[in-house]
Amino acid sequence: MPPPTAALSVPSSSSPSLFPLSSFSSSNNPHVSSFCPAPTTLPKFPSLSKPKTPLRNLTPLSAVSIEKETLISERPHTFLRDADGGDDGSVRSRFQRMILEAQESVCSALEAVDGAGKFKEDAWTRPGGGGGISRVLQDGAVFEKAGVNISIVYGVMPPEAYRAAKAAADDQKPGPIPFFAAGISSVLHPKNPFAPTLHFNYRYFETDAPKDAPGAPRQWWFGGGTDLTPAYIFEEDVKHFHSIQKKACDKFDPSFYPRFKKWCDDYFYIKHRGERRGLGGIFFDDLNDYDQEMLLSFATECANSVVPAYIPIIEKRKDTPFNESQKAWQQLRRGRYVEFNLVYDRGTTFGLKTGGRIESILVSLPLSARWEYDHKPEEGSEEWKLLDACINPKEWI
């Protein structure tokens, strides 16, 4: 949730408007923390003006306040500053282009499969720099709620946020640290209990060097993942989903899928329940031990795999007949989704504690959920099989 929770205020909310603070977990401790869309031609909106307040004069964020986002009437062509080179072919500009195109592609596919619902779009900016585009489809024919949000933001990160980002005690500056962050994050909640919820989130992060040493390098890393949260298991669906994730990973490194699959199972763990939120997928964070160009291509491949991994499942299950008992079970599993996001997802909890935009932070939550006292599914039932798979993660392919 989820986490990706889903894109960043400072340093992030896990809502789909910014990327989750789960990106600040250590890569060494995951407990802490055939389709390719054609390039989208984006409308040429006027560029944002430079921030009125120079970066050096921004008030450091000590512990509580986050700069409030401001809604704007039309989205800009770019959220990058002139100092960043605009669309100059840098990793920053290409990642921005990738997430804008992914948002267009995913939203178009979701509207097509829903048939009735349309996405509402809100564009916003931050006083410190950057902004984002939030898109939400609600009460559609297929989707109860679907959010697909992006953000491209920069500013200064307080020391406590940097400690969350990079836990090494000897790798810290005493004061605020300039940062850049860009991400796409989405949570999709269908109405039909036989159609699974999906979460995905991909992000890129940069900070200045951790120490004021001459020639010290800028730090950067990638994070993200895509995971499936069904209420009922259809093995062919889960195998299809995981096979698409593996295919994306195998194009770059055969060790990626088993490594990131386990990381996903470990991360989306509801400790007080002793079970996972869903049936996993892939998840990675703080990834910077490979060539930067390779990781940019990998993140792009993963984002482009969302539609072929998910839409065929939705098309197959969206009209399956169901009864009240099956709907109630879906609502109970959504309760687990809510518990993970509000209790464990670091992006969500950070955003709530620091005054981030509440609509962005909580857009990942379903419209409805359910909690029953001491509910236990009958052993051997379809509901029990799902719960067992959440308690004991399986190898699906």
Name the CA radius of gyration of the chain, rounded: 20
pLDDT at 50: 39
Q: Give pLDDT tens digits for 318-332.
A: 999 999 999 999 999
Q: Which residues, 6+ apart, have CB-to-CB distance to 261 below 8 Å?
A: 242, 245, 280, 281, 282
| Residue 13 predicted with pLDDT over 60 | no
Say if CB 169 and CB 211 are below 8 A apart: no
pLDDT at 68: 66
**What would the mean pLDDT of 66-91 be, rounded to a whole number?**
77
CATH class of the domain whose range is 70-391: alpha beta
Distance CA 304, CA 247 (A): 12
Selection from 317, 127, 354 nearest residue 231 by Cα: 317
Selection from 272, 294, 260, 290 nearest residue 340 by Cα: 272
pLDDT at 244: 98
| Residue 284 predicted with pLDDT over 80 | yes
Active site (catalytic) residues: 199
pLDDT at 84: 63
114, two tokens:
């829903």
Q: Which residues, 6+ apart, have CB-to-CB distance to 16 below 8 Å?
A: 4, 5, 6, 7, 134, 147, 148, 149, 185, 186, 187, 201, 360, 363, 364
Distance CA 149, CA 338 (A): 19
**What would the mean pLDDT of 361-382 be, rounded to a whole number?**
93
Say if CB 285 and CB 165 are below 8 A apart: no
Q: At 41, is the pLDDT very low, low, confident or very high (cuts 50, 70, 90)?
A: very low
The percentage of the chain sitting over the pLDDT mark of 90, rounded to a whole number, equals 57
The percentage of the chain sitting over the pLDDT mark of 70, rounded to a whole number, equals 72
Say if CB 19 and CB 6 are below 8 A apart: yes
pLDDT at 374: 93
**What would the mean pLDDT of 311-320 be, rounded to a whole number?**
98
Beta-bridge partners for 1:
none
Q: Angle at which helices 292-304 and 235-250 pack, to 10 degrees?
A: 160
Distance CA 129, CA 127 (A): 6
130's enclosing H/E stretch is strand 130-138
| Residue 333 predicted with pLDDT over 70 | yes
Q: DSSP label at 218?
A: P
Selection from 243, 247, 241, 270 nearest residue 342 by Cα: 270
pTM of model > 0.95:
no
In the chain, the amino acid numbered 253 is D
Q: Which residues, 6+ apart, have CB-to-CB distance to 203 below 8 Å?
A: 4, 7, 8, 19, 20, 23, 181, 182, 183, 184, 185, 222, 223, 224
Distance CA 276, CA 269 (A): 4
pLDDT at 337: 96
Cα 167 from chain centre: 21
Q: At 353, is the pLDDT very low, low, confident or very high (cuts 50, 70, 90)?
A: low
pLDDT at 174: 58
| Residue 142 predicted with pLDDT over 60 | yes
Distance CA 256, CA 287 (A): 11
Q: At 308, is the pLDDT very low, low, confident or very high (cuts 50, 70, 90)?
A: very high
**What would the mean pLDDT of 63-82 be, rounded to a whole number?**
73
Domain residue extents for the chain: 70-391
pLDDT at 180: 87
Q: Give pLDDT tens digits for 224-259.
A: 999 999 999 999 999 999 999 999 999 999 999 999
CA angle 172, 174, 175 (to 5 degrees): 115
Of the two residues 365 and 43, the one the predictor is more confident about is 365
